Structure 1
């Protein structure tokens, strides 16, 4: 009954805060039921709801009935299951939280989306992240993984003097070919290499002495896809973009110059002849061919024995690697003699904790430009971090063609750097005839670094281009503008 209709005073006062205060001696009530002011049939008053009276405390008060206790009593004695009612305010609050989370994810996707190189608006920040770039990178080796046995890869060409575009005399323009494809591992442990049908053309106007875009390496660093011109010393960042044309979506890739590195100790006008680059300890080590050159006057030119250590933000310093290159030469050729080694593929293995050198050419005799084309190497040299010990591995290629030499390598993901995807390139007749009779081509191969066993025989790259940079990466932008727009429309 409602409290106002009770005919006799109750020994208890039941308050809204569920505190039950004793007003007179109730010891004779024993273990009786009391009223409760909540329930499915309470209306505006009280309804009978049996539960046990808890024992009184020393101050004469019955303790506060907690939510947990009230729930326990109800579950034991109530004929009705407990009801949970979500208020409209709480429901709106949850909806707002969900919308905030989705909006945050959409913002992340938008920030990582590719700027359209044809004039689409960009997101800008005042922070200089890398080489003056106003946005973070969005490429990574992990994005290349299709499955545990299949990966995306990309490669850039170095066409030497052939890199100049025809009919560009008045406005010199240079180009490089960007080839992509997939690498897959079969159940028997062998590999297969597939090439995308369409290639992309990277163009630029930076040149030195009428030559440019002779791209010699391709690496991911700080989630950026970097490539290097071995004529100008320019470091380019590759950016991919999506655009709509005729109702179809097209992907393009452009090379944006970020830095220019000069050779040697830096006090020179000549751009660095970059031939290899590898990540180590959060930095990018960039090197040249590691060979001394004898000038016409008989002097020795040693600028190619220096390396550049590029930091995460684009800062760099230089190191003289003369002794380190000499250690490699002594390990392969002996401490004396007229021989030489040229390097275009060097990598640091985090798993093996070793430097790995894959020489382009190894010669026991003096340098001769024409004979040099037939001194291709099939050797890998593993060197400890301090350059005090080394292990030589001969790769067991089927072909004995000495025109082929290593021009780039990349460790296959998931193999603990034991399997290597390598490019072996050929320059035939180029030293004698210049551009007229110069024949170029490249082959892809996979082998076991520790045993030298070949896991994929040489496979010819299409179109007879010479490629000198390869990396495991998916060159397409991670999120297209069209996909992002559709996603945002669905949210609205």
Structure 2
């Protein structure tokens, strides 16, 4: 098998802006706290607070971020990947009054060097409750698939029609999908998601369906309920097609624009080729587009040569893999394992291609729902020719898992040169040349005798989109900045606010604290600066600008973050200052000035006793 070559591009930053009638522009602003010891919320639980604002500036083409996979190369040549699964618990998703949940679970999948053996290790204690208040007729958070779209983990709720963004233990509504051609207020029963041509595709069972239920949701502490229709049965009481809403699929752009497409011919082609013509049916919950193979792949959940009967449907699971070219005018069929279905009570609910296999290997989830017994889920691996590499393995717990995904990455930054297990004390982030830069205070740590204990904070990191970390020794850079600003050792400058300006091709630093004498904690509380330091790409020399007056008006306030105001060619800076003084509550302030040090908006206090340490135009 050929080696997989992955080409990735960095998605450029996207800013939301509103042009106003007076020529001004309004931007969305996001701030995040660093509450230090106050971040502890309760036993084994810590918190940060985010806050949003609008910034209006007077009159004075986006790319989709490609999917990123975390992989670990092992000494024996095998590769380990992170896997994420999410449940659809149906009626059991109700957690408490006006709250619904799904459960996510993590695992490690190891693929042998010859790509013929699979090992699965579940991560103990990884189950997380995902919660929401949105529901239909007391049903919600019945998440039916999972996909990473433009750097966001997206999952559809097949009861509400909502697409959620999954963030840790939260499900945040992103887009509402209308049923059928999109001209109704009824939510789509989305069962599968995939990415093709920079679009997110969402589809349903691909068969025809009828009944009724209530839509209930809460907004501003009020409860709203309306009658809508639920299309759960495939035919009406006379055996006629009630509607074909499930024959429609949706495409969604990065900005959330939804377009409806009629796939009746596609679904009928698949059904007829598999020899399940009407009044029989195939139902679909597991569909993927393979960019590597330029083919569509379908793992039908249920297959029947007779009309739908609910109890009979419980044992109509399939062993079919159906594939077709981009236009889906014709399809081919492969049997997974034997031609006879060994466990017809198990039906496919989701799958994902195993990375680095040219989409040759498939990891799939099956679930069992039989009246009178608890739900069960199973995981299996096979190739696109139908050969099984790992037989069904039951997933612990009586859950119906309906989404599986090789997870988006997380990166651990080691301190110093990267040869320790200690985490880096990262204080600032910026983007330059398609790399994420992370740095710390940029000063040495002294021991009790006043000697340098280590200079780990003189190292910075660059991180690629695939999560590869490289360490860079910036001692000369930090010393150049410190000496130019006239704070040589044993004095110091500390940095928490650093940005690279692509527009100006310059580095910009807003030092948090500045001292001509060695560090003393209580004295450091009033060492805030009014310095703006800038330098070219190589940072072999820098210039210093004073913001406002040369004298620091409020030395108890130190810069903690900044961002360039969009559409100003990085001429204007919006910065956050925070105050931490022993015996008083933390405070934060926001200010605006230009790169020449002219103040446009003086410090404005941010409500609440929080230390905000991040700001970003979103």
1:280 maps to 196
Residue 220 to residue 364, structure 1, CA distance change in 2 (3 Å) = same
Residues 268-306 of structure 1 show CA distances to partners (whole Å, capped at 9, x for unaligned) of: 222110100110001011000001121236452211110
- Shift, 1:267, TM fit: 2.0
Contact 1:153-1:474 within 8 A present in 2 as well: no
After superposition, the Cα gap between the structure-2 partners of 1:157 and 1:125, relative to the gap in structure 1 and judged at 3 Å, is farther
TM-score, normalising length: structure 1: 0.65
1:122 to 1:418, Cα distance in 2 relative to 1, 3 A: farther
Structure 2 CA distance for partners of 1:158 and 1:126, relative to 1, 3 Å: farther
Q: In the alignment, is residue 173 of structure 1 matched against residue 114 of structure 2? A: no
**Distance of 2:287 and 2:31 partners within structure 1:** 31
Shift of 1:365: 1.3
Local SS of the residue matching 1:324? helix
1:225-272 C-alpha deviation (Å, 9 max, x unpaired) = 0111000011111113xxxxxxxxxxxx31111111111011222211
Note if 1:186 corresponds to 2:117: no
Q: Does the 8 Å CA contact 2:33/2:48 hold for their aligned counterparts?
A: no
Provide the rounded CA distance (Å) in 1 between the counterparts of 2:362 and 2:255. Answer: 29
Displacement after TM superposition at 1:399 (Å): 7.6
Map 1:180-329 to 2 at 5 A. Answer: 180-187=106-113, 189-198=116-125, 199-240=127-168, 253-293=169-209, 294-296=235-237, 298-329=240-271
Name whichever structure is richer in strand by fraction. Answer: 2
Sort the Cα spacing of 1:366 and 1:479 in 2 relative to 1 into closer, same or farther, 3 A: farther
The equivalent residue for 1:71 is none
CA distance in structure 2 between the partners assigned to 1:289 and 1:479 by the alignment = 44
Deviates more, 1:215-224 or 1:298-307: 298-307
Cα distance between partner residues in 1 of 2:403 and 2:310: 23
Q: SS in structure 2 opposite 1:217?
A: coil
Kindly indicate whether the alpha-carbon contact (under 8 Å) linking 1:410 and 1:471 is maintained by their aligned counterparts in 2: yes
Task: Give the Cα–Cα distance (whole angstroms) in 2 for the partners of residues 125 and 291 of structure 1.
Answer: 46
Paired residue secondary structure (1:323): helix
> Is it true that 1:153 corresponds to 2:95 in the alignment?
no
Residue deviations 1:75-97 (CA, integer Å, cap 9, x gap): xxxxxxxxxxxxxxxxxxxxxxx
Write the distance in 1 (CA, Å) between the matches of 2:425 and 2:82: 21
* Residue 440 in structure 1 maps to residue 381 in structure 2: no
Does the alignment pair 1:355 with 2:296? yes
What SS does the corresponding residue of 1:142 show, helix, strand or coil?
coil
Which piece of structure 1 moves more, 253-262 or 317-326? Answer: 253-262
Matches within 5 A, 1:40-189: 118-121=47-50, 141-147=67-73, 149-165=79-95, 168=96, 171-187=97-113, 189=116
Q: What 5-or-longer segments of structure 1 have no aligned partner?
A: 1-110, 128-135, 241-252, 430-436
Q: Of 400, 406, 431, which aligns to 1:472? A: 406
- Greater relative CO, 1 or 2 (CA 8 Å, sep 6+): 1
- Which residue of structure 2 lines up, in the alignment, with residue 55 of structure 1? none
TM superposition shift of 1:444: 0.9
Distance 1:238 1:483 in 2: 27
Q: Point out the more displaced range, 336-345 or 478-487.
A: 478-487
| Alpha carbons 1:288, 1:305 under 8 Å: kept | yes
- Closer, same or farther: CA 354–427 of 1 in aligned 2, 3 Å: same
Asked if 1 retains the 8 angstrom alpha-carbon contact of 2:179 and 2:186, the reply is yes
- C-alpha distance in 2 between matches for 1:210 and 1:479: 44
The alpha-carbon deviation at position 145 of structure 1 amounts to: 1.8
The equivalent of 2:308 in structure 1 is 367
Q: CA deviation at 1:478?
A: 7.4
- SS of the residue aligned with 1:330? helix
Task: Decide whether the 8 Å contact of 1:236 with 1:256 is kept in 2.
Answer: yes
Distance 1:413 1:267 in 2: 38
Q: Distance in 2 between matches of 1:183 and 1:332?
A: 32
Do the aligned partners of residues 219 and 483 (structure 1) sit closer, same or farther apart at CA in structure 2, a change above 3 Å counting? farther
Q: Deviations over 1:437-480 (max 9, x none)?
A: 3521111111111x211111111111121100111114758789
Q: CA deviation at 1:484?
A: 3.0
CA apart distance, 1:142: 2.5
Cα displacement (A) at 1:389: 2.4
Q: CA RMSD in A?
A: 3.1
Q: CA offsets per residue over residues 63-111 of structure 1, 9 Å max, x none?
A: xxxxxxxxxxxxxxxxxxxxxxxxxxxxxxxxxxxxxxxxxxxxxxxx9
Residues of 1 paired with 2:302 and 2:33: CA distance? 39
What is the CA deviation profile of residues 98-143 of structure 1, one whole-angstrom value per residue up to 9, with x for unaligned ones? Answer: xxxxxxxxxxxxx99999995523587879xxxxxxxx999x7434
Equivalence map 1:2-41=2 (5 Å): none
Equivalents in 2 of 1:312, 1:213: separation in Å? 23
Mapped to 1, the partners of 2:357 and 2:399 lie a distance apart of: 29
Cα offsets for 1:142-172 (capped at 9, x unmatched): 342223621001011000001111xx2xx32
In structure 1, C-alpha distance between the alignment counterparts of 2:55 and 2:349, rounded to whole Å: 38
Residue in structure 2 matched with residue 488 of structure 1 by the alignment: 440
Residue in structure 2 matched with residue 387 of structure 1 by the alignment: 328
Local SS of the residue matching 1:295? coil
Structure 1 271/126 Cα, relative in aligned 2: closer, same or farther at 3 Å? Answer: farther
Give secondary structure in 1 for the equivalent of 2:256. Answer: coil
- Relative to structure 1, the CA distance from residue 184 to residue 112 in structure 2 (aligned partners, 3 Å threshold; closer, same or farther) is farther
Contact 1:141 1:473 in 2 (8 A): no
SS at match of 1:263: coil
Q: Is 2:145–2:191's contact at 8 Å kept on the other side of the alignment?
A: yes
2:281–2:307 CA contact under 8 A, matched in 1? yes
Change (3 A) 1:237 1:114: farther
Give the whole-Å Cα distance in 2 for the aligned partners of 1:207 and 1:308.
21
Unpaired runs of at least 5, structure 2 = 1-29, 40-45, 57-62, 210-234, 415-422, 429-438, 442-456, 459-493, 495-618
**TM-score after normalising by structure 2:** 0.52
2:214 corresponding residue in structure 1:
none
Deviates more, 1:381-390 or 1:391-400: 391-400
